[in-house]
Structure 1
Amino acid sequence: MQEYRAIFGENGRLIIPAPLRNKMKLNPGEEILLRYDNNSINILTMKQAVKEAQNIVMQYNKEHISLTDSLSKSRHEDEKDE
């Protein structure tokens, strides 16, 4: 594990040190997700958060059914019923 020092500034601003931003491939203006857990803050890029959510969903989709196709089919069926 690597550690980096940062200073908590005015108005709650926190500057993420450049080496860490580079490792995480963060760009100015990019949205990130902050998770508070067990008295710690974890930073995830939105891409990492989406990938994590996809992995959770795939645990319940062991047959690798296309969820997009399934949703589309369901919507078409709903439209026919209206």
Structure 2
Amino acid sequence: MSAIAIQVSQGGRIVIPADIRQKMGISIGDEVLLTWQEGSQELRIATRKQRLQRARQLVQQHVKPKVSLVDELMRERQQAAADE
């Protein structure tokens, strides 16, 4: 990881350098998500697409290959309804 020094301008604005925007896939008008990490005192920036991709990766760590979560949920709901 490398650090880049940028200045905060009027109104608390910062400019994300073009090469970083390109690497992140950020275009003009895109919304980005800022997360404050209390423990490390760091501000993190990500796109919604990156967050969604990360969430999918986390879910895949706990799902068996070729398993449909929708089918599993439907089975669980049908079983719960039958048990009532």
TM-score calculated relative to the size of structure 1: 0.69
Aligned-pair identity in percent equals 34
Matched AA of 1:5: A
Residue number in structure 1 paired with 2:41: 39
Residue number in structure 1 paired with 2:51: 49
Residue number in structure 2 paired with 1:17: 17
What is the rounded CA distance, in whole Å, between the counterparts of 1:68 and 1:29 in structure 2? Answer: 34
What is the rounded CA distance, in whole Å, between the counterparts of 2:66 and 2:3 in structure 1? Answer: 39
Which runs of 5 or more structure 1 residues have no equivalent in the other structure? 78-82
Question: How far apart are 1:28 and its partner, in Å?
Answer: 1.0
- Superposition RMSD on alpha carbons, in Å? 2.5
Residue number in structure 2 paired with 1:60: 62
The runs of 4+ residues in structure 1 deviating greater than 4 Å are: none
Question: How far apart are 1:69 and its partner, in Å?
Answer: 4.6
Q: Give secondary structure in 2 for the equivalent of 1:44.
A: strand
Q: How many residues align?
A: 77
